């Protein structure tokens, strides 16, 4: 996989710093106190080999001041961190309450650099914090004003820099190798757990720094139920198998899914899968600047035809979180959201609800990551759809 040059890293870091500064200006804030791990990484570009989107939010934090001065809180800081992140000069020890419930010690650690920076009576944006932790922090800083900014930061991250899109593309390539690894092992008698192991090994071998989630590989009854985790169940001839994979590469996520069948598909499975893939590609072709999420929903309903009643079209943004705005919905404010150049969407339509999955033996699903550009949509995922299910 490609690696960022020092120049690219600096360009992207400065871009993200400007986006964070813009949020502070728009909300008239003096600083941000970030706890959500994706926002902390977005704002600081920190890296640790144990990075995970599933880690507890308050295990580390970042205080971002106007002008870009940053204090990074870690638990505990270590020599590796300083070598891997030389641009982060001020690293403080954070006594996390996650294991001790000592909220007072945690609040004291957070308060100290806030007081040093003269922010004790200023407006500070918070992205994520438990109510209990916030109560302790307010006791330590009674004159500070805390404002919620999580949604503001997510909106700021919707439009990706070209370098961000390239990192997502690399994450997609790795996830595709994961699907290939799973498919190479998929045969009667192999368990879902074994497919997960093959997929995870392929992704880590290719350079994934972490997985976005446990590979969701389900077969037969698991596919019918749309099970969200693998089991010890063995594959059988005729099983429909879904592999929903994602990984993190240099902080950015991928999210793709492919479906196959063990042995030969039935005539109805082929008919449904062909309709699914055809409608899927038509909707992707409609993902142009200015088109609303509601219009994409309507395009799906039109394109899938008689299978609409058995289908669910789902889409979401992809970036430093596996799923972030915008979202594909038929009604409400989200449906009015219009595509802009620089967005990256994961589009994942399902056909199999309302009893169809029981009849054909599973859910038929595909998922691709798509970059929205001024010239039109660009599929970042190119792993082929299943030839047997396409009737080839």
CATH number assigned to the domain comprising residue 64: 3.40.350.10
Co-location of 358 and 374 in the same domain:
yes
pLDDT band at 77 (very low <50, low <70, confident <90, very high): low
Q: Is 56 a member of any domain? A: yes
Give the largest Cα separation in the chain, rounded. 71
Co-location of 130 and 229 in the same domain:
no
For residue 319, give the nearest of 166, 109, 116 by alpha carbon: 166
Q: Are 167 and 4 in contact (CB under 8 A)?
A: yes
Co-location of 113 and 167 in the same domain:
no
Q: Rounded to two decimals, what is the model's pTM?
A: 0.94
Q: Is 338 a member of any domain? A: yes
Co-location of 224 and 287 in the same domain:
yes
Per-residue pLDDT, 117: 96
What percent of the chain lies above the pLDDT cut of 70? 97
For residue 143, give the nearest of 165, 121, 168 by alpha carbon: 121
Q: Is 385 a member of any domain? A: no
How many domains is the chain built from?
Answer: 2
- Whose structure tokens read 């139920």? 225
Q: Please give the residue range of the domain that contains residue 60.
A: 6-156
Beta-sheet strands, E only, within 177-253: 210-211, 216-219, 240-245, 247-249, 252-253
Q: Are 384 and 256 in contact (CB under 8 A)?
A: no
Give yes or no for residue 199 having a pLDDT over 80. Answer: yes
Tell me what the mean pLDDT of segment 266-288 comes to. Answer: 98
Co-location of 32 and 115 in the same domain:
yes
Co-location of 200 and 272 in the same domain:
yes
The Cα angle at residue 341 between residues 7 and 308, in degrees rounded to 5: 130
Co-location of 174 and 269 in the same domain:
yes
Region of 206 (left: φ > 0; alpha: ψ -120 to 50; beta: rest) is: alpha
């Amino acid at each position: 996989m490609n690696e960022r040059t020092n120049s690219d890293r600096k360009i992207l870091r400065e871009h993200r710093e400007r986006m964070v500064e813009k949020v502070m200006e728009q909300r008239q804030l003096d600083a941000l106190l970030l706890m959500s791990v994706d926002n902390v990484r977005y704002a600081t570009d920190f890296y640790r080999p144990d990075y995970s989107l599933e880690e507890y939010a308050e295990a580390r934090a970042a205080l971002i001041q106007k002008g870009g001065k940053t204090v990074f809180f870690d638990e505990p800081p270590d020599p590796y961190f300083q070598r891997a992140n030389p641009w982060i000069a001020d690293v403080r020890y954070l006594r996390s309450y996650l294991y001790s419930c000592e909220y007072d010690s945690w609040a004291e650690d957070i308060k100290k650099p806030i007081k040093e920076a003269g922010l004790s009576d200023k407006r500070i944006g918070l992205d994520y914090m438990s109510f209990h932790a916030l109560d302790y922090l307010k006791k330590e800083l009674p004159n500070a004003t805390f404002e919620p900014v999580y949604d503001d930061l997510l909106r700021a991250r919707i439009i990706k820099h070209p370098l961000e899109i390239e990192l997502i593309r690399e994450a997609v390539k790795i996830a595709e190798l994961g699907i290939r690894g799973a498919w190479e092992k998929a045969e009667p008698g192999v368990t879902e757990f074994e497919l997960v192991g093959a997929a995870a090994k392929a992704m880590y071998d290719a350079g994934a720094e972490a997985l976005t989630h446990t590979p969701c590989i389900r077969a037969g009854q698991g596919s019918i139920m749309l099970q969200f985790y693998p089991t010890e169940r063995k594959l059988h001839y005729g099983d429909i198998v879904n592999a929903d994979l994602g990984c993190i590469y240099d902080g950015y996520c991928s999210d793709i899914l492919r479906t196959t069948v063990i042995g030969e598909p039935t005539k109805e499975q082929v008919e449904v899968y062909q309709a699914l893939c055809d409608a899927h590609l038509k909707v992707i072709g409609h993902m142009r600047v200015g088109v609303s999420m509601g219009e994409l929903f309507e395009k799906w309903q039109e394109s899938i035809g008689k299978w609409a009643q058995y289908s669910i079209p789902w889409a979401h943004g992809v970036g430093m979180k596996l799923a972030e705005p915008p979202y594909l919905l038929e009604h409400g404010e989200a449906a009015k959201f219009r595509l802009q150049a620089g967005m990256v969407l994961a589009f994942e339509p399902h056909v199999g609800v309302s009893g169809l999955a029981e009849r054909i033996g599973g859910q038929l699903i595909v998922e691709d990551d798509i970059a929205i550009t001024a010239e039109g949509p660009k599929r970042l995922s190119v792993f082929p759809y299943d030839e047997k299910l396409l009737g080839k």
